[in-house]
Amino acid sequence: MTTTSGTLAPARSPSAGAGALMTLASMTSAQLGLAASVGLIGQLGALGAASLRLFSAGVIMLAVMRPWRFRYSRAALRAGIILGLATAGMSILFMCAAARLPLGTASALEFLGPLTVAVCGNGRRAPLWPVVAAGGVLLLTEPWSGAVNGTGIAFALGAAACYAGYILFTRRIGDHVGGIAGLGISLPVAALVAAVAAGPSSTAKLSPALIAIGIGLALLVPVVPFILELYSLRRLSTAAFSTLVCLEPAIGTIVGLVLLGQVPHALTVVGIACVIVAGAGSVRSGARERPVPVPDGAAESAGRPAAVMASASERP
C-alpha cells in the first residue's frame, strides 16, 4: 500500500458538524480514560502511568496498521515523527501535572495550547470565540486563589505547548497521508519516547493485570481519540478545532462529578458555560479549506488510484 502524493489543490472538506461530533466523542473518550488512569498513578507514578498507556497504544497501532506496508513521503515521515514527539510530551507532561493539580485545573491549563492556536488561526474571522473560551479557562483554573502547585503549573504549560504542536502536525500529516496511516508513524514514536522516559524502574512494577489495564486505557486514550481527531481535523479549521477542544475541561468536570465525586464550584459552572458557547460558535464557520492530494500518475494503493484514496480519506 502507498500513501497519496502529488500536487495540492484546494477542496472543500465535509461538514463542520461531523468534525464537531468526532471531536466531542474524542474528548469524552479521553476524559474517561484519564479518570480511569488516576488510580494507576499511585501504583506506577505519573510518568509510569502515562508511559504504559502510550507504549500500549504504540504496540496496538503497530499491530493494526503495520506501517511497513506503506510508502511514506519524506514530508509525511517528518510530520509523523514530530507528531509522535508532541504526543509523548503532551501525555507525559499532563499526567505529571495531574499528579500535582486537580484534574480540572490541569486540563484548563493544558488547553492554553489549543487556545493559542485558535487565536493565531482565526485572524479577523471570529476573534470573539477564543476570547470567550479563554475567559472560561480562567474561571475553571481560578489562578487568583493562590492554591495551585507551581511545579504542576509548569508541567501543565509544557503539556499545553505540546498540545499546540499536536494539533498543527495532526492536521499536517492528515494532508499528506490517507486514512489513519499517519498514526502508524506517530504512536510508535510516542511509544519509544515513553519507554525511554519510564526507564527500568517503572517496568519492574508492571504485572500482567497492570499491562491488561494499560491496553484497555490505551484504547480510551490515546488510540480512539487520536483517530477521531485525525478525521475531525480534515473537517474543521485548526482555529475551530482548537476552540472546540476547550470544551474538554467542562467534559472533565462532568466526568469528575459522576465518576470521582468532584463537585464543581459556581465559578466552574460559569466557566463551563463560557467554553460551551465558544465551542458552539467556532463550529458555525469552522469547515476548513484544506489541500487534497491530486494524483500525479505515480501513487496507487492496492490497485486504487490516488484520487480514490484521497476521496476515501475524507470519510470516517
The residues facing 10 across adjacent strands are: 291
Q: What is the pLDDT of residue 123?
A: 57
More confident residue, 261 or 84: 84
Closest CA to 54 of 276, 169, 215: 215
Q: pTM (2 decimals)? A: 0.76
d(CA 141, CA 130) in angstroms, rounded, equals: 16
| Residues in contact with 9: Cβ distance below 8 Å, sequence separation at least 6, in sequence order | 291, 292, 294
DSSP state of 220: I
pLDDT of 4 > 70? The answer is no
Mean pLDDT over all residues of the chain? 77
d(CA 223, CA 191) in angstroms, rounded, equals: 12
Distances (CA, A) of 246 to 44, 69, 125, 168: 29, 36, 19, 16
Q: CA torsion, points 278, 19, 240, 179, in degrees to nearest 10?
A: 150
Cell of 76: 509525511
pLDDT of 76 > 80? The answer is yes
Cβ distance 233 to 46 under 8 Å?
no
Q: What values do phi and psi take at 142, rounded to 5?
A: 50, 60
Q: What is the pLDDT of residue 12?
A: 41
Q: What's the pLDDT band for 293 if we cut at 50, 70, 90? A: very low
- Which region among 12-16, 38-42, 53-57, 221-225 has the lowest average model confidence (pLDDT)? 12-16
Q: CA torsion, points 25, 28, 32, 37, in degrees to nearest 10?
A: 90
Instruction: For 209-266, write each residue's pLDDT tens digit.
Output: 988 998 898 988 888 998 898 888 888 887 788 778 877 877 877 887 888 777 778 8
